[in-house]
Each structure stands twice: as C-alpha cells, then as structure tokens.
Structure 1
Amino acid sequence: MTAYLTRTIRRAGFVLAFAVSFSALSATSSFAFSAEAQQMCTGDAFRLCSDEIPNIPKITACMFKKRASLSTGCRAVMDRDLAQKSNKVAAQ
C-alpha cells in the first residue's frame, strides 16, 4: 500500500511539474502551446520525455525529436499551434 501511495504521489508531482512547465512554456514568446495542446500532449510527454521534466526547453526539444511517435491528436495540435505562431511572426 505504501509503495502504491508513493507511486501515486510521485506521478501527481510529475503531472503538476509538467503542467507548470507547459504553462510557463505557453507564456514565453519564443514558443507557445495552447491549452488544448497541453491537454492533448501531456500523456505523450510523460510517455516519451519524462526524463526531461521539468526542464521546459528539453521537454520541447524532446517532443520535436520524437514527433513521429506523438499521438495523432498531439501532433495535429502542435502543428496547428506552430502554424499560427509562424503566421503571427510573418505578419510582423
């Protein structure tokens, strides 16, 4: 029971750290993901890039590096967010 509780607390801590990291990432001007991307990609980040949590730049690099392994929903949302960001930069 104690091992299960420890594992649950650790996982909750990782989820919180990832959410905070992704929120901070969304606030930066260099790279922004929507709330939908956070929701769609959290599982992928834990599955593919858990070693990088909570380092935001490393999570981002890992997600791009492992793009082919992302879930369809996460990849679609990230691509859409990147396209929107590119359009904003091009308009300036």
Structure 2
Amino acid sequence: MMKKRAIFVGLVSVALAGVSYAQQDRGTAEQRAACAPDAFRLCAGYIPDPGNVEACLRQKKADLSEACGAVFDQAAAAAASVRTIGSHRYRGAKDEE
C-alpha cells in the first residue's frame, strides 16, 4: 500500500513538473498550484497541453475549487481593467492637465 502511494506521488510530481515547465508564462507558481488539483480532477485528458487544460478549466468554472476559481476571477478582473484602460472612455493623466 505504501509503495503504491509513493509511486502515485512520484508520478503526480513528475506530471506537475511538466505542467509547471510548460506553463511558465501562465500565471504564478501559486496560481498554478491552486489549479493543479482541479486540472487533474477535471481535465486530466488534456495534460500536458497547458492551453487545452486552461480552456477545459474555463469551461468547467462551476466545478472549480474555491482556490482555482479565485485565480480565474482575478484573471477576469485584470483583463477587464486592461480593457477599460484601453477604451476611449478612459481619461489618462494628460487629460487632467
């Protein structure tokens, strides 16, 4: 029983290392750690392709853990902020002078 657990932990570690390496430009280590369990639980068929794993997690947003859901909520808020700054409605510091 202990040997099976050790093998499982080893395989998961190798898989996470591969996913982490492939996702170096996809969020922080903390964000990836928050979503790794959900990726294995909900989207294992898409590993090791980070783009497909991310798309799968987005499609299954309602089933995400609280931690991983927060990661996607933060990303959505950041994207909305960038869109607002880039819109015509945004008035930068030059407009106030």
Question: What's the TM-score once normalised by structure 1's chain length?
Answer: 0.73
Going from structure 1 to structure 2, the CA distance change for 1:88 and 1:47 (only over 3 Å counts) comes to same
Paired AA for residue 16 in structure 2: V
Whichever residue aligns with residue 19 of structure 2, its letter is F
Evaluate the alpha carbon distance shift between residue 64 and residue 8 of structure 1 in structure 2; reply closer, same or farther with a 3 A threshold.
Answer: same
| 1:45 CA displacement | 0.9
Report the structure, 1 or 2, having the larger helix content: 1
* 1-structure distance, mates of 2:6, 2:31: 29
Question: Could you list the runs of 4 or more consecutive aligned residues of structure 1 that deviate by over 2 angstroms after TM superposition?
Answer: 1-10, 33-36
Higher Cα Rg, which structure: 2
Code of the residue aligned with 1:18 in structure 2: it is V
Alignment-derived partner of residue 10 in structure 2: 9
The percentage of aligned residue pairs carrying the same residue is 27
Question: Which of the residues 52, 56, 67 maps onto 1:73?
Answer: 67
Cα RMSD (Å): 2.2
With a CA cutoff of 8 Å and minimum separation of 6, indicate the structure with the bigger relative contact order: 1
Gaps of at least 5 residues in structure 2 are 87-97
In the TM superposition, what is the alpha-carbon distance from 1:46 to its structure 2 partner?
A: 1.3
SS in structure 1 of the partner of residue 48 of structure 2: coil
* 1:34–1:81 CA contact under 8 A, matched in 2: no
Determine if contact 1:52/1:58 at 8 Å carries over to the other structure.
yes
Name stretches of at least 5 consecutive residues in structure 1 with no aligned partner: 27-32
* 2:34 is aligned with 1:40: yes
Q: Report the TM-score when normalising by structure 2.
A: 0.70
Q: Does 1:53 align with 2:54?
A: no
Inter-partner Cα distance in structure 1 for 2:5 and 2:70: 34
